[in-house]
Amino acid sequence: MIQGVFQFPGQLLLSFTSPSPQVTFLIDLVVLALSALVFSLIFARLKLSIVAGQILGGMIVGPYVLGIVVEPLVLNELSQVGVVLLLFIIGLQLDPAQLRRMLVGITSLTLLEIGVSFAFGFLASYLLRFNLIESIIFSMAASISSTAIIGRILLSRRMLQSPESGFIMGLNVIEDMIAVIFLILLSAITSSNTVGFPYFIIGNSLPSIGFFATLEAIIGGLALVGLAYVVSHYVAPRIINYLTYYEEEYEEIPFLFALGLGFLFAAIAALLGYSPGTGAFIVGLSIRGKQSKFLVNKITPIKDLFLVLFFVSMGGLIDPSPAFSIGWPIILVFALLVMGKFVGGYSIGRILNFANRNFKLKTLRDARKGTFTIEGGISSPAAFGAWLVPRGEFSLIIGQLALALGLVGQTFFSLVGVSVLITTTASSVIQRFTEPRRASSIYSFKEQKDPEE
């Protein structure tokens, strides 16, 4: 603790100490907010994703570069609220009937896309001379796109009402569920971690642990979906209709219900071993009509605050030095990571015959043949591939768990962290070349002067 005493004329003594934890927390918030602002402006000027700018800003002021914010873990826990709210809002604005029609096709194509990404990740691991376990873990981390980053970009571009956004988010939710299976398998590798895993494991052998944990994860997922259906169809509508009478005079009451519903299913999903955001997304997707609009209006204003905290704190967890100490092979590694998701997404686009038809997506089923096709699309298979390139929260979670289990070293986790920043930036660059030119922002960067009277 820093202490000092100053003596002024008149025998006035002033003592000071180091800032209290509360003051330090507020200072960290200020630094992270200013860093996010500066780098968001820079990346906006460069016409890149401001999400990547916020991640970079957090990394710069974090403990591993400038060391201004030395405890981002507290902020990271707080910022998880933003991901829950984001996926809750996205679920509320998507069409569940359309997702149900595409479910079989989405699942099979997601497995194909993850398989392609996994193969590219394994090739990158060969260049890094990883052993077999490290190669498998690195390929796992390289196979999962960031639901938070992709969802944030969809929301900022106001694309959630377009049908193709439902396909993208459905694909990402299935990827998140596959990531849970990856975490189960990773936890089963070392018996020391099975005690803390939220499942009732039968047997001690590796196959027994993996099989029963996976089975319980599937049953838990089905139970989560069933509970969301019951609540959204028989409980939530009646409560929402009742709370509308208090909306004008007591705005806090409907707001608290919206938060409580989203966080309730986030907690249930976490207890079942899933991402908290997945639970919020599922219950949001189950609520339709005026009830969904009612909830969106209540929680949208606070979403952005927590999301910014999430992305900058994610950047604060990244230590870039060990990754860049690898040398020139890291360039090929990042190129392979970008290509893996791009090729996987491009393959899906080709299979579904995505074409530039006014960004309209239509699902068709051939009753006789049982085929699954989609007409229209984001604009092209290349554009679809670009959307899936960003890695994010689950890549870091897989890397953190492997590091905690002693299966990988600090260089490995650093490489995974830097790949989040690189792939998010690369995604926005590729989108500029694969999507039609979007209209410029209505908010000009140039100073506007009032007309002279």
- Can you give the pLDDT of all 453 residues of the chain as single tens digits? 334 444 444 444 444 456 676 787 788 888 888 999 999 999 999 888 888 999 999 999 988 898 888 876 666 676 678 778 878 887 887 777 766 776 777 888 889 999 999 999 999 999 998 999 999 999 999 999 988 888 888 777 766 666 667 778 888 888 887 887 787 777 666 544 443 434 444 444 445 555 666 677 778 778 888 898 898 888 888 888 888 777 677 777 878 888 888 899 989 888 887 778 788 888 888 887 777 777 777 777 777 778 788 888 888 888 899 998 888 889 999 999 999 999 998 888 787 764 444 334 444 444 344 444 444 345 577 888 888 999 988 888 888 888 877 888 888 999 999 999 999 999 988 988 876 555 444 333 444 454 554
Q: How far apart are CA 363 and CA 257, in angstroms?
A: 35
**Domain at 168, CATH number:** 1.20.1530.20
Phi, psi (degrees; rounded to nearest 5) at 16:
-145, 155
Q: Give the SS3 label for residue 203.
A: coil
- Please, what is the end-to-end C-alpha distance for the chain in angstroms? 60
Number of domains comprising the chain = 1
Task: Name residues whose C-beta falls within 8 Å of residue 57's C-beta, 6 or more positions apart in sequence.
Answer: 32, 35, 36, 38, 39, 40, 312, 315
Token pair belonging to 148: 């938070």
Q: Tell me which residue has tokens 């897989």.
A: 398
Q: Are 205 and 179 in contact (CB under 8 A)?
A: no
Predicted local distance difference test score (pLDDT) of residue 195: 38
In a domain, 163, yes or no: yes
pTM: 0.74
Phi, psi (degrees; rounded to nearest 5) at 358:
60, 30
Q: How far apart are CA 317 and CA 311, in angstroms?
A: 10
In a domain, 270, yes or no: yes
In a domain, 5, yes or no: no
In a domain, 46, yes or no: yes
| Domain extent at residue 217 | 17-434
Predicted local distance difference test score (pLDDT) of residue 236: 84
Q: Give the SS3 label for residue 352.
A: coil
Predicted local distance difference test score (pLDDT) of residue 73: 66
Nearest CA to 24 out of 71, 77, 79, 76 is that of: 71
In a domain, 263, yes or no: yes
Helices (H) and strands (E) in the chain, counts: 17, 4
Q: Is 93 left (phi over 0), alpha (psi -120 to 50) or beta?
A: alpha
In a domain, 7, yes or no: no
Say what the alpha-carbon torsion angle 237, 243, 248, 251 is, to the nearest 10 degrees.
-100
List beta partners, residue 375. 362
Task: Name residues whose C-beta falls within 8 Å of residue 17's C-beta, 6 or more positions apart in sequence.
Answer: 1, 2, 3
In a domain, 348, yes or no: yes
Predicted local distance difference test score (pLDDT) of residue 437: 57
Q: How far apart are CA 42 and CA 189, in angstroms?
A: 43
Token pair belonging to 418: 């830097």
Q: Are 165 and 94 in contact (CB under 8 A)?
A: yes
In a domain, 12, yes or no: no
Q: How far apart are CA 292 and CA 286, in angstroms?
A: 9
